[in-house]
């Protein structure tokens, strides 16, 4: 998925530093990747964008591929990992509609939206009040959703179950032109962008937050913070 221009920039830098013309100065470079990963969808994208990738460049031609045969992280749940591999290989049994049926032990039964979400919380975060204050516990589990609206709804419900009082921090949106501030401020408050938090961010002091986007120098995405 990496663009070959990125590797080309590194190649030029290494050649300049070493005053040599060998590819990547003859250094051994290790590129890691997920062989099952699906490329992201580019709206109105053309086939030629595929050729900007590393594999279609001079660097890709010179790559030697090594495959791991053992997943160290899969040892704790080999049955589930085997199930995923069978799906990926097209070997999992399908029903009469040619659909794969998810095992019942993987599913939270649906009664109604609120009760089913609470069952999901209890299954994912047992003893939630102590779970969220423990770094190793909170970073080992996650609830994934398809849309940001669901993330906000789940976060709000979880925060209400935590013992400490929550504080609300209101963001400030500022337009480039001061004259546009009064006209567009309400519009900016209504935006729910993937890279932005809600206008009213509810937070409990003493609990863990993972930063998703690099903003300040010295803090990169994925940083775990204790507020």
pLDDT digits (tens, 9 = 90+) for 181-190: 777 777 777 7
Which of 39, 32, 12, 37 shows the shortest CA–CA distance to 23?
12
Which of 172, 141, 137 shows the shortest CA–CA distance to 154?
141
Give pLDDT, residue 207.
62
Give pLDDT, residue 206.
61
pLDDT at 40 over 60: yes
Give pLDDT, residue 112.
92
Task: Indicate the pLDDT class of residue 221, thresholds 50, 70 and 90.
Answer: very low
**Cα–Cα distance, 157 to 82 (Å, whole number):** 34
The Cβ-side half-sphere exposure at 49, using a 13 Å CA radius, reads 10
pLDDT at 220 over 80: no
- As to burial, measured by CB atoms within 10 angstroms (0-12 exposed, 13-18 middle, 19+ buried), residue 59 is buried
For the entire predicted model, the pTM comes to 0.54
Give pLDDT, residue 119.
92
**Cα–Cα distance, 138 to 128 (Å, whole number):** 10
pLDDT digits (tens, 9 = 90+) for 42-63: 778 787 877 787 878 888 888 8
Q: Which residue has the higher pLDDT, 154 or 181?
A: 154
Torsion of CA 204, 206, 209, 211, to 10 degrees: 110
pLDDT digits (tens, 9 = 90+) for 100-133: 888 888 889 899 989 999 999 989 888 877 777 7
Give me the mean pLDDT over the 23-45 stretch: 77
Give pLDDT, residue 115.
92
pLDDT digits (tens, 9 = 90+) for 80-89: 888 888 888 8
Q: Where do the structural domains in the chain lie, given as residue ranges?
A: 4-61, 73-105, 108-226
Task: Indicate the pLDDT class of residue 178, thresholds 50, 70 and 90.
Answer: confident
């Amino acid at each position: 998925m990496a663009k070959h221009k990125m590797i080309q920039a590194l190649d030029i830098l290494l050649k300049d530093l070493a005053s040599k013309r060998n590819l990547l100065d003859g250094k051994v470079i290790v590129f890691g990747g997920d062989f099952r990963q699906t490329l992201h969808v580019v709206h109105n994208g053309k086939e030629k964008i595929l050729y900007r990738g590393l594999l279609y460049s001079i660097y890709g031609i010179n790559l030697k591929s090594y495959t791991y045969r053992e997943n160290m992280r899969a040892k704790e749940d080999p049955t589930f990992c085997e199930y995923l591999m069978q799906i990926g290989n097209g070997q999992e049994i399908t029903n009469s509609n040619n659909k794969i049926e998810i095992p019942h032990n993987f599913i939270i039964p649906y009664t109604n939206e609120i009760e089913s979400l609470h069952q999901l919380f209890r299954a994912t975060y047992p003893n939630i009040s102590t779970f969220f204050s423990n770094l190793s516990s909170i970073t080992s589990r996650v609830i994934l959703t398809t849309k940001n609206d669901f993330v906000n709804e789940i976060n709000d419900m979880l925060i209400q179950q935590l013992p400490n009082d929550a504080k609300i921090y209101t963001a400030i949106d500022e337009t480039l032109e001061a004259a546009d501030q009064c006209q567009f401020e309400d519009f900016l408050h209504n935006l729910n962008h993937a890279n932005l938090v809600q206008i009213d961010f509810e937070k409990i002091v003493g609990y863990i937050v993972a930063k998703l986007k690099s903003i300040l120098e010295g803090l990169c995405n994925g940083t775990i913070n204790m507020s």
